[in-house]
Amino acid sequence: MSQELIDAMVGMKEEEAISIAKDLLDKGEDPLKIFGACRDAMEVVGKRFEKGEFFLPELMMSGEMLRQISEIIKPLLKEDIQSVGDGGKVIIATVKGDIHDIGKDIVVLMLDVNGFDVLDLGIDVPPEKIVESIKDFKPQVVGLSGFLTLAFDSMKETVDMIEDAGLRGNIKIMIGGGQIDEEIRKYAGADAYGKDAMEAVRLSKDWIGGN
């Protein structure tokens, strides 16, 4: 059934994909598994785009399908998940030059339903804005998202600017997104790399004290 969802998404069959996702939920499928299938579909779409078989409209359509499926899943997660992060503040942003926000939005959603107070700064966020927001919002954790190769430098620039502003000692920085890995974490000088939204929750929970 998950494979059917992947096929529908890769086949750009919007209505079919949404209806399969709804059916899976009705049958009691774990919402996070549905996200997993969506991710696999996006992976295929991305590869086809790379090979020149898909173009921007397909990238946009796949993004739109995932956004709609997230909207359906959201209320169920709110009911399901026990709050763990009371009192924790997290800032999340997609870094400068990058406008991919679907992965970031899932991270925001998962932190939110887990009880964290999340400030979402949006996309293409310059380091200066992140520094200013840290001063105002006073988070314990900052999460930087990016899907493009150019995001690596934006992440490094952001971490450096946080350091230069004298704020680095008070906060933990996690990074994530499509191309991000442990190597990029070292390059950017972040504290941790998270492969998915659950990892973002786990890291925040560990850092803020697991309340």
Nearer of residues 20 and 35 to ligand B12, judged by Cβ: 35
Nearer of residues 28 and 52 to ligand B12, judged by Cβ: 52
Residue 45: closest CA among 56, 34, 36: 56
Burial grade of 95 (CB within 10 A; 0-12, 13-18, 19 or more): buried
Nearer of residues 66 and 121 to ligand B12, judged by Cβ: 66
Q: What is the SS3 assignment for 120?
A: strand
Smallest distance, ligand B12 to C-beta of residue 59, A: 4
Smallest distance, ligand B12 to C-beta of residue 37, A: 11
Please give the backbone phi and psi of residue 38, each rounded to the nearest 5 degrees, phi first: -60, -40
Classify strands 192-193 and 141-145 as parallel, antiparallel or unpaired. unpaired
Pairwise CA distance, residues 191 & 173, whole Å: 5
Nearer of residues 24 and 200 to ligand B12, judged by Cβ: 200
Please give the backbone phi and psi of residue 59, each rounded to the nearest 5 degrees, phi first: -60, -45
Nearer of residues 124 and 160 to ligand B12, judged by Cβ: 124
Smallest distance, ligand B12 to C-beta of residue 32, A: 9
Pairwise CA distance, residues 3 & 147, whole Å: 25
Smallest distance, ligand B12 to C-beta of residue 6, A: 13
Smallest distance, ligand B12 to C-beta of residue 126, A: 14
Residue number closest to ligand B12, CB atom: 176
Nearer of residues 101 and 157 to ligand B12, judged by Cβ: 101
Smallest distance, ligand B12 to C-beta of residue 98, A: 4
CA distances from 31 to 25, 95, 159, 210 (A): 7, 28, 33, 24
User: Which helix H or strand E contains 144, and what residues bound it?
Assistant: strand 141-145
Q: Residues in the site for ligand B12, rule: CB under 6 A?
A: 39, 42-43, 45-46, 49-50, 56, 59-60, 62-63, 66, 97-104, 106-107, 143-145, 147-149, 174-179, 194, 196-197, 199-200
